Structure 1
Amino acid sequence: MSALNNKPAGTAKLLNKKVISWAIWDWGSAAFNAVATTFVFSTYLVSKLFGDHDASSLKLSWGLTIAGIIIALTAPISGQRADRKGRGTFWLGANSFVVFLALLGMFFVRPQSTLGTEGALWLGIFLISVGNIFFEFASVNYNAMLSRISTPETMGRISGIGWASGYLGGIILLFVLLIFFLGDNPVVAVSGEDGLPVRLAMLVAAFWFGLSALPVLFALPGRAVEGHENDEKETLRDSYKRLWKTVKRLYAEAPHTLSFLGASAVFRDGLAGVFTYGAILAAVTFGFTPGEIIIFGVASNVVAGVVTIAFGWVDDFWGPKRTIMFSLSVMVAMGLVVFFFHDQGKIVFWIAGLTLAGFVGPAQSASRSFLGRVIPEGREGEVFGLYATTGRAVSFLAPAMYGLSVTIGQNFVADGESATHFGILGIISILLLGLLILIPVKEEHAYLDSFDGK
């Protein structure tokens, strides 16, 4: 069995100072996930304020692609180094601080600056790309803490609480920004010139994240790692050699862990696609107005948060693998409902779309708890780094399958009609593929009692 089973009984309490402090970091993470990368700053960069929309989108895409490659190549060794020195908390703080600085810097991205419009655009792309890199590094350290604040009996619920906190934090922060800066009649009436409302929103987002990141740093200090007190400073080459040794060890002794990493990489890309392309389907296929899309977005996040918390209990009772499989099965079924009944009006998307969104969180949360249960103590950061890397490695799947499905669908609709609803088939095909890869994975064969730390 995993070393996690040796956790002291005192950690079994579901809500305590450590758990709440840990979940607050996820609450604050919405400042980057929802505000910077999804709804506010990224759309600001591709707006007419920075010139041609398509040209700006292409440049932003390249910036984020480069960031993704850097993450894929370095996330495992960043987690590994933190593990070996017992400095996961320190690096969570350091990486979070860089994200805070990136968010803060976004306030200074204005088209009419001395940098010029083009220079300001590249500054924004640089900041959001750097933020992505260090947010992913911080997430590796953050996920690695799960086993320190839970037992195998409570891990699913605690993981779910953290994930749901991110959803709910995003909703509240977006509402605050809409009311004060970004709505039609904001409380803070400022000129829209030079992107000031968005820039003020990023200032709020920076401090929202920075303050939320502090509690966990005090509640979960670093830990001593026996046998590594006198380790010499290792080179990047040494780190990659250790990482390769870990992969070989997993292949030889816990191949089901590697299989899970592969399966989760696939279905997590499909889960991301649900939110990425959901708004497009709502607008194009079901005729949602921009206001209705915002309302649906808020509703879907509320549902996802509530369902994620509820399924944390299911995870602990039923096991993470079954929770993931059930969630993916429901999502595939609802995707088919969206496709076959897309011409029946908005009510179809309200029901099936909300159900789809609702089960994204449980699948994500149970994936984290699956790994948290099987990773030996002291190697969490390294394996969660591999988790990040495998996810980045296949991040092209959902966009590719969505585009391919819409392209194929154009052959089955009349001239002038939209084939956008075929895109849902591409997304659910990724979810189904991940589900099929997951089926043979056996949790009882994924445990490793320890790794050779040398």
Structure 2
Amino acid sequence: MSTATDRPDQATDPAADARAIGRMRFGWYVNDWANAAFSASVLTVFLGPYLTSVADAAADAHGDVHPLGLSIRAGSFFPYTVSFSVLVSVAVMLVAGTVADRTGRHKELMCGFAFLGALATMGMFFLRDDRYLLGGLLLVAANICYAVSVALSYAFLPGLATADERDAISSKGWAVGYAGGGLLLIANLALFEGHGALGLAEGTSVRICLASAGLWWALFTLVPLFRLPSRAGAAPIAARQPADPGRPTAGSLRELAHTLRGMRRYPLTLLFLAGFLCYNDGIQTVVSQASLFGSEELGMGKTALIGAVLLVQIVAIGGALLLGRIASKYGAKRTILGSLVGWVATLALGYLMPAHQPVWFFGLACMIGLVLGGSQALSRSLFSHLIPAGREAEYFSVYKISDRGTSWMGPLVFGIAYQTTGSYRSAIISLLVFFVIGFAVLLRVPVRRAIEAVGNPVPERL
């Protein structure tokens, strides 16, 4: 599906370039629209409580399940599975990134992993009775594919926006993603609420909602498949290094080792990445475990949980755009630091929140939505300035290790806290350490020097 825009040297007409950029940006936005369904409907709302109930059905008299001969509490199975999926996805993402940068097939790999993840998600329709191992297997497969696909999509950002445009373009992409995830949640909420009138059991309606996210993901991935160029750096804004078609597999493994060694030449980029991996682990654990916390600790029903997540999606649209505007005035780094203060306040409210009070829970959802989209969108755009040209997919694969629902340290800490205390309040407040450390590390990053060190143009405001 190669097009003229795959060859930057041929793009000389400014009007044609503008049309090509608009076309590619639309495809990139729709990619966020497509994969947000998995993040919102599967990871955030339905799968956590449902898979926990399936694990409960398979548990012994002590409330434990025994995957691979291990003995763990049924309530910890979901966060442990998320954590395990990330450990596996680390290697897959890094190798996929090096393959993409070396072959120039960013789009094909991105969409291929998206379709595989969508297929695994649709397979969750068959998750029932005590088949918790099937649920864990499908979650691992889908979450790995999601992580790789999204990491490769991030690599397109530097070619779609100038240095001063990236905060706004990244924020708009997040806003579109939340709109897509929210729209599907509305449909799922209607289905779940009306399952009795439709003659469906509650569990069946949940399984349909899970499968619908996979179908949504697959269908809308067709748009970036036809709108984006094969190579991430092929946009007319900035030509990137040409792809090397020779020996992609073995060469990419050598490139992987070279990338990991080469990152040591950019210690300030690594410092930012360390801070991001820490605070975003906290963000993603809050997102992925919020439904479990709400149902098990606060006594919220599925309707309230879906309504709260839908509220997060709606508020996050405005939050992403609002923080993007704030960043245009005060800089991305300052805005991210401010959002982390907001996350600390959100955790404190969650810990102190009374049970069986939906109004308080919806207030917590509004706080999450306000800081969620902006903190992630601005982190993505800021990191895009800190990576050397031609290495976008490789570096964003490292970045994606702790992005959007793929964190592993946070779910592990969350699961251990619950395992040892039996309280989800203790589990949620244990995540405070990730935001505090992330704030302290990001505060020490001299962003201008970091951008200059990799040879990229410095935006007007940082």
Above 0.5 in TM-score? yes
Instruction: From the superposition, tell whether residues 296 and 43 of structure 1 become closer, same or farther in structure 2 (CA, over 3 Å).
Output: closer
The one-letter amino acid paired with 2:227 is A
Matched, 1:299 2:311: yes
Deviations 1:87-115 (A, max 9, x none): 1011111111111221232334454xxxx
Q: How far is the alpha carbon of 1:293 from its aligned partner?
A: 3.8
Q: Note if 1:139 corresponds to 2:154.
A: no
Pick one of 216, 219, 226 that aligns with 1:208: 216
CA RMSD of aligned residues (A): 3.6
Tell me by how many angstroms 1:422 deviates. 5.3
Matches within 5 A, 1:418-433: 421=425, 423-433=427-437
| 1:76 aligned onto 2:76 | no
Q: Do the aligned partners of 2:401 and 2:407 also contact (CA within 8 Å) in 1?
A: no
Gaps of 5+ in 1: 1-6, 112-116, 411-417
1:85 aligns with 2:103: yes
Cα gap change, 1:12/1:429 in structure 2, threshold over 3 Å: closer, same or farther? farther
Is the Cα contact below 8 Å between 1:266 and 1:394 reproduced in 2?
no
Distance 1:233 1:400 in 2: 38
C-alpha displacement at 1:264, in angstroms? 0.3
Helix, strand or coil for the counterpart of 2:431? helix
- Residues 314-351 of structure 1: CA deviation (Å, up to 9, x unaligned): 234433212211111222244445657869x8766654
- Alignment length, in residue pairs? 421
- Contact in 2 for aligned 1:157/1:311 (Cα 8 Å): no
2: CA distance between counterparts of 1:59 and 1:160?
A: 34
Q: Distance in 2 between matches of 1:190 and 1:430?
A: 45
Contact 1:285–1:342 (Cα < 8 Å) also in 2: no
Pair 1:381–1:346, CA change in 2 (3 A): same
Query: Alpha-carbon deviations, 1:358-401, whole Å to 9, x = none?
Result: 20221111111011223233211100111123669972246526
**Structure 2 residue 287 is matched with structure 1 residue 239:** no
Say if 2:193 is the partner of 1:183.
yes
Q: Distance in 2 between matches of 1:101 and 1:393?
A: 18
Matches of 2:91 and 2:426, distance apart in 1: 34
Gaps of 5+ in 2: 1-10, 66-73, 235-239, 457-462
Q: For the residues of structure 2 that align with 1:419 and 1:96, how far apart are their CA atoms?
A: 36
Q: In 2 relative to 1, CA 72–26 (structure 1 residues): closer, same or farther, beyond 3 Å? A: same
Hey, what does 1:3 align to over in structure 2? Answer: none
Write out aligned runs for 1:347-362 (5 A).
350-351=362-363, 354-362=366-374
Mapped contact 2:278–2:438 kept (Cα < 8 A): yes
Q: Which amino acid aligns with 1:242?
A: E
CA contact (8 A) 2:263 2:270 kept: yes
Tell me by how many angstroms 1:231 deviates: 2.1
Alignment pair present for 1:197 and 2:215: no
Contact 2:171 2:377 in 1 (8 A): yes
The structure 2 residue matched to 1:219, chosen from 217, 220, 227, is 227
The answer to whether the Cα contact below 8 Å between 2:28 and 2:224 also exists between their aligned partners in 1 is yes
Q: What is the one-letter code of the residue matched to 2:224?
A: V
Matched residue, 1:377? 389
Deviation at 1:242, TM superposition (A): 2.5
Pairing 1:10-409 to 2, within 5 Å after superposition = 16-48=22-54, 51-52=57-58, 54-55=64-65, 63-111=81-129, 118=131, 121-180=132-191, 182-185=192-195, 189-192=198-201, 195-223=203-231, 228-235=243-250, 238-252=251-265, 254-279=266-291, 291-336=303-348, 350-351=362-363, 354-389=366-401, 395-397=408-410, 399-400=412-413, 404=417
Contact 1:262 1:390 in 2 (8 A): no
Instruction: Provide closer, same or farther for how the CA distance between residues 350 and 63 of structure 1 changes in structure 2, counting only shifts above 3 A.
Output: closer
* Aligned partner letter, 1:214: L
Distance between the aligned counterparts of 2:406 and 2:110, measured in 1? Answer: 23
Asked if residue 435 in structure 1 is aligned to residue 439 in structure 2, the reply is yes
Contact 1:82–1:91 at 8 Å: present in 2 too?
yes
Q: TM-score, normalised by structure 1?
A: 0.80
SS of the counterpart of 1:374?
Answer: coil
Distance 1:283 1:93, change over 3 A: closer
User: Any idea what the Cα deviations from partners look like across 1:26-67, whole Å, max 9, x if unmatched?
Assistant: 112133222233322454333359833552666655654442
Q: CA deviation at 1:294?
A: 3.5
The equivalent residue for 1:413 is none
Change (3 A) 1:186 1:321: farther
User: Separation in 2 of the partners of 1:419 and 1:103?
Assistant: 30
Of 239-248 and 135-144, more deviation after overlay is shown by 239-248
Distance 1:173 1:351, change over 3 A: closer
In 2, distance between residues paired with 1:365 and 1:105? 30
Contact 1:274–1:357 (Cα < 8 Å) also in 2: no
Closer, same or farther: CA 156–132 of 1 in aligned 2, 3 Å: same
Question: When the two structures are superposed, what TM-score results if normalisation uses the length of structure 2?
Answer: 0.78
Secondary structure at the aligned position of 2:24 is classed as helix
> How many Å separate the matches in 1 of 2:349 and 2:76?
34
SS of the counterpart of 1:431? helix
- In the aligned structure 2, how far is the partner of 1:427 from the partner of 1:49? 24
Q: Note the C-alpha offset of 1:423.
A: 5.0
**8 Å CA contact 1:155, 1:316 repeated in 2:** no
> Quick one: distance in 1 between partners of 2:445 and 2:177?
28
Residues 304 and 358 of structure 2 are in contact (CA less than 8 Å); yes or no, is this contact kept in structure 1? Answer: no
Which whole-Å deviations, capped at 9, do the CAs of 1:252-295 have from their partners, x for residues lacking one?
2x211001111000000111233345456656776656544443
SS of aligned partner of 1:46:
helix
SS in 1 for 2:40: helix
> C-alpha distance in 2, partners of 1:349/1:44?
20
Query: Is the 8 Å Cα contact of residues 94 and 256 (structure 2) preserved in structure 1?
Result: yes
